[in-house]
Structure 1
Amino acid sequence: MNILRRIDLNLLVTLHALLIEKHVSRAALRLHKSQPAVSHALANLREIFDDPLLVRRAGKLERTARASELLQPLTEALDQLGALIEQPAFEPAQAKHAFRLAMSDYGAGVILPGLARLLRGQAPGIDLEIVQGSRTSMLASVHEGTADLAFGVFPQDLPDELRTHALFTERFACAADKDTLPKSGRLNRKQWLARPHVLVAMQSSENNEIENALSREGVSRRVALSLPHWGVAGRLMANTDLVLTAARRTFDLFLEEPRLQVFTPPFPITPFDFTMVWHSRRESDPAHNWLRQTIVTTLGDQGSGPCSS
């Protein structure tokens, strides 16, 4: 109770912004406060918690162990207080709200064009910040409260506190320079395995559906080029013998290279669900509920069932 006598709600809100942003200036922008005011609050918080909370490592601020322990319960407490204080009704046309969404550039290409048009027409005060990371880091950001939603291909055995909704089912396709392909316009299994391959992934070691399919077949491929960017992938394959195997929508979104031919993989690869993930603590948040339903509607609700766990 001694700490409670020395701290008020504004300080807790400031602490939450600092722990999420790990940057005094960005926290100040998030809070619509001056940088000196946030720096002064950080000094008070360090004294109250008897911990530096944020320490500088390799030129940037990182959370201490104590700060990392505080983030999730603090996020949950502030969400619960907000639910008590705020009106439950959400009026998108009048709302001013910011959401942070974790997704790859594939997810951005699928979701954002339609969502941005809808927001500009129906909810112009809603702002979006898009962040990218590995599957593990995106799930961690939702769990910690540093992201409102994550989109991608995730394991089915997620923690109980995370909620999911399958937005659509995706299949795979291959692409290569059309001049390097047989008259059939595709590669058979032997030809496909003999080619060098391109892998687009945030982490080359990250498990993916293609490697799992190859493992089931008892074969392997040579990944000659691994990179985290879709934008250049199409141009890399033109005038080479490289082959890319990826989600079918990828070729419509990013690979507008006239030299490329898209064809069906020469072996079965299990389709995957593209999934939206959020934390159960956000389920009472009307703005969050509205955004989830809006995303489902924008994509034509190609998943199964309502937008819930």
Structure 2
Amino acid sequence: MKTIETGFDLNLLRVLVALGGSRSVTRAADALDMSQSGFSTALARLRQQFGDALFVRTPLGMEPTPRARRMIQTAQQVLDQVQDGILEQPVFDPATARTEFRLAMADVAEIVFMPRLLRHLEQHAPQVRVSCGPMPPDALPAAMESGAVDLALGYFPDLGAQAFFQQRLYTHTYACMMRRGHPLAGKRLTEAAYAAAGHAVVSSPARSNLLFEQFLQRRGIERRIVLSTPHHVSLPAIVEETDLLATIPLATGARFARLGTVELMPLPFKPPSFLVQQHWHRLYHHDPRSLWLRGCIAALFNDATDEWVGIEAELYGREMRRRRA
């Protein structure tokens, strides 16, 4: 790799370009906000550095020598590249951007985040694409560092290292889903009945699932698991046709309940809560593209826009909401 001679002052390129454009020491000095004597000293340094007069006084002004003409062209290119590639503040224009935002989230989070986010992007970033999906916890940090993943959305307690930033969006919890007309529907669900019933559980990379499993272990509750599946999206069809119960994040359950074939019941205990956050690598903390996306997420998903507050209060009472706040 070639290096610039350490004795050369790159500021002298500005002197060269200014005089080449104006052909006048006075006007060139004014353009650079320099005194005329200071400019003349800088010009003298250039001449000494290259052993060439560089500029010669003529009736038409300070005329560049052949070497100076070649230098001026190159110097202007260098200054333009420095301005555009280093000094110019990068910007992200969502209205014209053609990019793909890559999001790491479980399918349970997609159900909550994607409809509202895509509606927003349709209006404000119509040419942007989105890809999302789950990723093993051990692979996620490297993917975010490399830029293969822009944001991780949901519950990711493993991303607490100094290499990552996180922003809380809201706090969430769980509910029990069963079919309409289930033998337990309309009754107070007890821990014994909950444990004895058949359950459909999701085994996926979602860390919120592990959080709930650990909670049950601490309470000594052992469910009768009939089905284990890696997908949340199949649960409504399964629960609708069986007497199985499914314990899932409240927001996802609320979405499923809107279909009209399943309903939500409070769990027979105060369920754990977890933080729903957005995570990003510190390498992209000041990146305009990342900043814009994070701003959208924060504006769309927060305590003020938490549409599940009322459902949680109906299931567990407002006391639990106050306890978590």
TM-score range, shorter chain: 0.5 to 0.7
Counterpart for residue 292 of structure 2: 290
* Cα offset, 1:135, TM superposition: 3.9
Residue 275 of structure 1 is matched in structure 2 by 277
Alpha-carbon spacing, 1:152–1:139, altered in 2? closer, same or farther (3 Å)? farther
Contact residue 235 and residue 257 of structure 1 kept, 8 A: no
Once the two structures are TM-superposed, the CA of residue 174 in structure 1 deviates from its matched residue by 0.1
Distance (whole Å) between structure 1 residues aligned to residue 289 and residue 159 of structure 2: 27
CA RMSD of aligned residues (A): 2.8
Q: CA 1:255 to 1:232, structure 2 compared with 1: closer, same or farther past 3 Å?
A: farther
Of structures 1 and 2, the one with the larger relative CO (CA 8 A, separation 6+) is 1
How far 1:86 moved relative to its partner?
6.3
1:113 to 115, 129, 143: 115
Contact 1:169–1:272 at 8 Å: present in 2 too? yes
Cα gap change, 1:249 to 1:291, in 2 (>3 Å): same
Separation in 2, partners of 1:98, 1:276: 17
Aligned to 2:200: 198
Off by >3 Å, runs of 4+ in structure 1: 82-87, 134-140, 182-186, 203-207, 254-259, 300-303
- Does residue 171 of structure 2 align to residue 169 of structure 1? yes
Distance 2:85 2:188 in 1: 56
SS in 2 for 1:290: helix
Q: Report the CA distance between 1:97 and its aligned residue.
A: 2.3
Shift of 1:241: 2.3
Partners of 1:206 and 1:183 in 2: CA distance: 25
Taking structure 1 as reference, are residues 140 and 301 closer, same or farther at Cα in structure 2, changes over 3 Å only? farther
Of 191-200 and 171-180, the range deviating more from structure 2: 171-180
C-alpha separation in 1, matches of 2:245 and 2:85: 51
1:244 to 243, 246, 250: 246
Separation in 2, partners of 1:139, 1:226: 27
Q: What is the Cα deviation at residue 235 of structure 1?
A: 1.4
Q: 1:101 touches 1:130 (CA, 8 Å); kept in 2?
A: yes
What amino acid sits opposite 2:300 in the alignment? T
1:132/1:159 Cα in 2 relative to 1: closer, same or farther (>3 Å)? Answer: same
Q: CA deviation at 1:168?
A: 1.3
1:219-234 alignment runs, 5 A limit: 219-234=221-236
Pair 1:211–1:247, CA change in 2 (3 A): same
Relative to structure 1, the CA distance from residue 261 to residue 127 in structure 2 (aligned partners, 3 Å threshold; closer, same or farther) is closer
Deviations 1:184-226 (A, max 9, x none): 3342111001112111232599962221221221232222211
Checking the alignment, whether the CA contact within 8 Å between 1:238 and 1:257 is kept in structure 2 is: no
Task: Give the 3 Å change call, closer, same or farther, for CA 201–165 of structure 1 in structure 2.
Answer: farther
Structure 1 residue 120 displacement after superposition: 1.6
User: Residues 284 and 290 of structure 2 are in contact (CA less than 8 Å); yes or no, is this contact kept in structure 1?
Assistant: yes
User: Which has the higher Rg, Structure 1 or Structure 2?
Assistant: 2
Q: Structure 2 vs 1, CA of residues 272 and 123 (structure 1 numbering), >3 Å: closer, same or farther? A: same
Contact kept? 2:166, 2:278, Cα under 8 Å = yes
Q: TM-score, normalised by structure 2?
A: 0.61
- Larger deviation, residues 88-97 vs 101-110: 88-97
Whether 1:211 and 2:185 are equivalent positions in the alignment is no
TM-score for both structures, normalised by structure 1 = 0.64
Which among 141, 144, 154 is matched to residue 142 of structure 1? Answer: 144
Give the whole-Å Cα distance in 1 for the aligned partners of 2:185 and 2:103.
Answer: 44
Give 1:124 deviation, angstroms.
Answer: 1.6
Identity of aligned residues (%): 30
Q: How many residues align?
A: 224
Q: Which runs of 5+ in 1 are unaligned?
A: 3-81, 304-309
